[in-house]
Structures are given as structure tokens and as C-alpha cells.
């Protein structure tokens, strides 16, 4: 292994680039990749699952975005309250701000409630914003930050998002930290570059990774019906986990859940869930349908095997 101990594959774009290797080098290189990119190889699994590189609990979030009325949300909450959900999954839903209190007061405690955004600091004269303190006052435990619609429509940049995450974490909220590339960035081979830059902005600002879930959401797959293949999603999740290992710590890389978002539905969730580095989902449109959202939550069974 000494021959390859200093070899470091470079992420120059979508895929890892490496020089051509002869047969003997290839065998060692495969062993090297096994040890470097499969963080699970030296860890004992925390439960009877297959294809789980991280050590965290499966996590499924539902982002309701700017959808719903009192009547439709009351119906959705009723459907969620009656759904049978696997026990070994953290489940969170993010209603529109104006319905946070309604949902928190009527939704089963089995499901936690998240806000979809928060202000960068303490509340005050910031028209139209919602503060972390207000979110906590309603009993919510999570906030979604860095979603592509906030980045590309509202114009929030990486550093601003990082500061928002840092403040939310410092006040005790968990953060669902979104990253992901545009279609033109993927086609230009810049997927990893974009994701790593967005990750770095979080890493430079946050006090701890203990209450962060990373959501990889390729922008070209959000609400378009186009879904990254399980292999495409897995490839980026592997790279993200490796980035955490190299730039934060091996412990953080293992513990941090990396979930996938982008047109996830009841029909494709099981195949995606089988992938080793996909630790759950952030769901958009399908989270507005109680039974389908329950199917996605229960896709954790795709990872289970006999002990």
C-alpha cells in the first residue's frame, strides 16, 4: 500500500479524475479507494442495515414550500397522524410560516416541525422575516437553510447562508443545510466544485456539525420530474462525505446525515434508499400527499437486512 499512500484522486468536476494505471497499480488503487471513500469499512454498523455509510439515523423531511390552505393542511396533518411510520426514522415537516403554529398544535409528536427559512440574527426591524427566536417560541426544532429557491430566486449567497446557519445552531435549532448544482454547472463538470464551495461556507461559519443534516438537491431535479439516478446521487454523496472527512473530521463525516432531494416520490424512493451514502430524503411535492410521504419515510426498509 506504500505505493499509493500518497495518491489522492482529484475532484475536478462531476467525476473523480485519475491517471491511467497498470494492472498492479489498479489493484492497489481499488484497495485505496475502498479505504478512503468507504468510510463504513472500518466502522461497526449501529443497527441491522445494509448500505449505510454514515452512522446517523435515517432522516426524511417534507418541505411544503408555499403551498396549502387551512383546510388542505388540516387534511394533510390528519393523514400524517394516521400513517404507520417505521420507528427508526427521524421525520420532519416544514409548513409555510403562517401555518407553523396550526401544524405544531395538531401534528403527532412522532413528527417534528421545521421552518423553511430564518433570519441571520436576532429579530428586529426586518420586514417580512422570521427570527430563530420566533421559530423556537412555536416549539419548532429545525430550519431549512440554503435551499436553491432561496439561493437562485431570492439571491442569498453562500456566506449569508453560512451565517444564518451559524446563528440558528447557536440558538439551538437544527439545520437542514441544502447544497446542489444547476444543470449548466453539472454539464460543465462543476458539480463537485459547486457543492464543495457551498459546504465550505457552512464549515467556515458553523460552531458545530452536531445538529446539521446536509441535503444534496441538484437544482435541475427539483420540481422538474427529473430525478438523479441512484448512481448519480450516490456519487455526489460519497464526495460530500469524503469532503467532510478531509476538511472537518472523520467523526463528522460519519455522523452527519446526507440526504437526497429532487423529485423524490413513492415510486423511486426505495431504489435511492438502497444506496450506501443516501441517509434519507428532503421531499417537495410528494410531501403534500400524506400516504405517499409515509411510503417515502418507510423506504428505510429498503436498507434493512436480517441481523
The residues annotated as belonging to the active site are: 147, 217
> From CA 257, how far away is CA 59, in angstroms rounded?
7
Cα–Cα nearest to 143, from 95, 73, 205: 95
Could you write out the DSSP letters of every residue in 222-283? SSSS----HHHHHHHHHHHHHHHHHHT-HHHHHHS-EEE-SS--TTTHHHHHTSTT--EEEE
Of 229, 204, 127, 213, nearest in space to 177 by CA:
213
What span, in angstroms and rounded, lies between the C-alpha atoms of 116 and 146?
10
Distance (Å, whole) CA 18 – CA 217: 26
Q: Are 93 and 287 in contact (CB under 8 A)?
A: yes
Q: Are 100 and 109 in contact (CB under 8 A)?
A: no
What is the Cα 243 distance to its own chain's centre?
Answer: 15
Amino acid at each position: 500500500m506504500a505505493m499509493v499512500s500518497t495518491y489522492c484522486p482529484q475532484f475536478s468536476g462531476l467525476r473523480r479524475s485519475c491517471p491511467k494505471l497498470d494492472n498492479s497499480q489498479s489493484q492497489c488503487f481499488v484497495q485505496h479507494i475502498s479505504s478512503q471513500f468507504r468510510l463504513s469499512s472500518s466502522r461497526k454498523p449501529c443497527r441491522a442495515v445494509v448500505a449505510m455509510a454514515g452512522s446517523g439515523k435515517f432522516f426524511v423531511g417534507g418541505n411544503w414550500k408555499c403551498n396549502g390552505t387551512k383546510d388542505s393542511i388540516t387534511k394533510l396533518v390528519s393523514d400524517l397522524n394516521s400513517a404507520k411510520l417505521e420507528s427508526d426514522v427521524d421525520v420532519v415537516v416544514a409548513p409555510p410560516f403562517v401555518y407553523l403554529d396550526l401544524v405544531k398544535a395538531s401534528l403527532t409528536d412522532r413528527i417534528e416541525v421545521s421552518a423553511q427559512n430564518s433570519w441571520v440574527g436576532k429579530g428586529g426591524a426586518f420586514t417580512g422575516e422570521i427570527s430563530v427566536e420566533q421559530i423556537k417560541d412555536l416549539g419548532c426544532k429545525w430550519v431549512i437553510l440554503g435551499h436553491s429557491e432561496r439561493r437562485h430566486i431570492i439571491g442569498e449567497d453562500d456566506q449569508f447562508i453560512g451565517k444564518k446557519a451559524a446563528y440558528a445552531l447557536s440558538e439551538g435549532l437544527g439545520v437542514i443545510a441544502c447544497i446542489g448544482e444547476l444543470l449548466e454547472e453539472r454539464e460543465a463538470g462543476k458539480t463537485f466544485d459547486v457543492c464543495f464551495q457551498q459546504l465550505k461556507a457552512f464549515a467556515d461559519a458553523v460552531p458545530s456539525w452536531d445538529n446539521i443534516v446536509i441535503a444534496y438537491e441538484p437544482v435541475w431535479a427539483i420540481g422538474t420530474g427529473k430525478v438523479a439516478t441512484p448512481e448519480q446521487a450516490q456519487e455526489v454523496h460519497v464526495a460530500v462525505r469524503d469532503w467532510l472527512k478531509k476538511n472537518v473530521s472523520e467523526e463528522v463525516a460519519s455522523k452527519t446525515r446526507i440526504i437526497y432531494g429532487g423529485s423524490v416520490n413513492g415510486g423511486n424512493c426505495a431504489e435511492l434508499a438502497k444506496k450506501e451514502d443516501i441517509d434519507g430524503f428532503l421531499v417537495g411535492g410528494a410531501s403534500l400527499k400524506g400516504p405517499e410521504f409515509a411510503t417515502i419515510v418507510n423506504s428505510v426498509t429498503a436498507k434493512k437486512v436480517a441481523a
